Amino acid sequence: MTSKPMSLPARLWLLYSTFARIAALVVGGGYAMLPVIEETFVKKYKILTPEELVDMVALVQTLPGIIAVNSAMYIGMKVAGYAGAVLAVAGAITPSYLVIVIIAAFFPHLDPKNARLLGAFAGVRACITGLIIMTAWRTARKTLTGWLEATSAAVCLILVLFGCNPLYIILTAIPYGIGLLKWRERQRNEKQEDAAS
């Protein structure tokens, strides 16, 4: 949380206004929003720890639905319960809804061969690619902490490049992660027993 406790109305307004601002100003969807979410909720307001952000990223990517909305719901629940989740999601979808209405009204009348329009789209696509690469880099630095994690990521990347369905990779990674955690706990317990004896 912030340095001094916030009232519930202040937390609700923070959630709605922050997600509305992020959704209005960040183009490219959930992956492009993640650096801004980190800057706001981890660094500025300290509502999430970096580890919780990494866990949130993993969770919202495995759930069905839009990453931005899933992220808003997760953070909203953490900050202000159900009301926080509702207002964070409302903030995340309001700008998109308004923009889509405007685009639906005016886009059919635009010239698709307009050089300025094509240049704007090319610039936005390049910017989004950079944001996604930065998010992947930050997530990798926090997640790939050992050789087992790095090997798992490499295997998953190879499988995706060879056309394996990401759903099967995720479903396989869940029991693998559980097994890895249990193995590490057992190793830790054995070391503690050896140190005690």
Same domain, 165 and 105: no
Q: Choose one of 120, 143, 166: the last residue of a domain.
A: 143
Residues spanned by the domain of 86: 1-143
Q: How confident is the model at residue 28 (pLDDT cuts 50, 70, 90)?
A: low
Mean pLDDT confidence for 36-54: 84
Looking at the fold, whether 11 and 98 belong to one and the same domain comes out as yes
User: Mind listing the pLDDT tens digit for each residue in 78-87?
Assistant: 888 999 999 9
3-class DSSP state for residue 192?
helix
Q: Considering only residues 32 and 122, tell me which one the structure prediction assigns the higher pLDDT.
A: 122
Looking at the structure, do residues 179 and 110 belong to the same domain, yes or no? no
Q: How far is CA 58 from the centre of its chain?
A: 8
pLDDT of residue 84: 93
Mean pLDDT of 129-146: 81
Average pLDDT over residues 178-182: 86
Going by C-beta distance under 8 Å and a sequence separation of 6 or more, which residues neighbour residue 148? 180
| Range 154-160 average pLDDT | 89
Please check whether residues 60 and 7 belong to one and the same domain.
Answer: yes
Do 44 and 124 belong to one domain? yes
3-state secondary structure 132-155: HHHHHHHHHHHHCCCHHHHHHHHH
How far, in Å, CA of 67 to CA of 75, rounded? Answer: 12
Residues 113 and 153 placed together within one structural domain of the fold:
no
User: Are 120 and 152 in the same domain?
Assistant: no
Contact between residue 19 and residue 45 where contact means Cβ atoms under 8 Å apart: no
Whole-number percent of the chain with pLDDT over 70:
95
Structural domains of the chain, count:
2
Whether 57 and 94 map to the same domain: the answer is yes
Same domain, residue pair 66 and 161: no
pTM for the model: 0.60
> What burial letters (b/e) apply to 175-190, b meaning 16+ CB within 10 Å?
eeeeeeeeeeeeeeee
73 Cβ neighbours under 8 A, 6+ residues apart:
85, 88, 89
